[in-house]
Amino acid sequence: MLESLILHNQQTALLFHATTEWLALSGGFMLYNHIRKRRGHPSALASKGGIWVLAFCLLGAGIGNKLVSILQFPEYWALAHSNPKQFWLVVVSGQSVVGGLLGGWLGVEIGKKIGGITSRTGDDFVAPILLGLVIGRTGCFVAGLYDGTYGVHTTLPWGVDFGDGARHPTQLYEWLAALIALITLPKWRQYFAHEQGLSFRVLMFGYLLWRLIIDSIKPVPAGWWLGMSGIQWVCLFALLVMAATYRRVR
């Protein structure tokens, strides 16, 4: 049944995936603005500081997205010298949720510094990020083999045949995890409401830990150490930095 949803035409699959990416970004932004208005805060576009935050968030997310994507595949690095045109084509077409989230987070912090914003604003991003993951992973699944986010081959009964045998539908694993986290957000967020910005940090820590684990059942590109992919190493490094730099706000 799930196999019937997968697109096997490359052009159609990539077009659908690009459409869901746009829907994930625009839907997340609209939800972010709605949350801010509901809490009595101005739109991100209504103040000078907010514009800086939004601009650097998008810039950071775009750079991080492409940087981690190319980092994932060591064999592409040689193209920078041997075939620069092909290398930049790979960079432009590459996507990484981990890179986008980390880059966007860094961009927000830079934008806040420039805009003179001292309060923690991360909690407003929790629901939009989860919504974006639900929408985005739908596109990843439907794009099938042309997306590259599928898992390794499996004999488990819920394995999905993307066209080359049954594989772990890791896109759906993440889709389900994000959907559950979004639905139960009012419940689990209350445990972190005592500290501003903590819900966002918990989400980021949880997602990076999730990717560190779930990517172990995805094909690992050659060239990395200890059987871990480039994205897993980025997640591990980011988790260590988060743990080392965390300070409770009293």
Q: Within a domain: residue 250?
A: no
Rounded mean pLDDT, 222-226: 83
Q: Within a domain: residue 14?
A: yes
Q: Within a domain: residue 198?
A: yes
| Cβ count near 184 (within 10 Å) | 10
Q: How confident is the model at residue 45 (pLDDT cuts 50, 70, 90)?
A: low
* The length of the chain, given as a count of residues: 250
Q: How confident is the model at residue 23 (pLDDT cuts 50, 70, 90)?
A: very high
Q: How confident is the model at residue 249 (pLDDT cuts 50, 70, 90)?
A: very low
Residues above pLDDT 70, as percent of the chain: 93
Rounded mean pLDDT, 210-226: 91
Q: Within a domain: residue 165?
A: yes
CA separation, residue 207 to residues 112, 236, 244 (Å)? 23, 11, 17
Rounded mean pLDDT, 115-138: 90
Rounded mean pLDDT, 189-202: 92
Residue 250 confidence (pLDDT): 44
Q: Within a domain: residue 211?
A: yes
Q: Name the residue range of residue 190's domain.
A: 1-245
What distance in Å separates the CA atoms of residue 58 and residue 2, rounded to the nearest whole number?
33
Q: Which residue has the higher pLDDT, 26 or 39?
A: 26
Q: Hey, which residues does 161 pair with through a beta bridge? A: 166
Q: Which of 230, 49, 234, 208 is nearest to 129 (CA)?
A: 208
**What phi, psi does 166 have (nearest 5°)?**
-65, 130
Give me the number of domains the chain comprises.
1
- pTM for the model: 0.91
First and final CA of the chain: distance in angstroms?
52
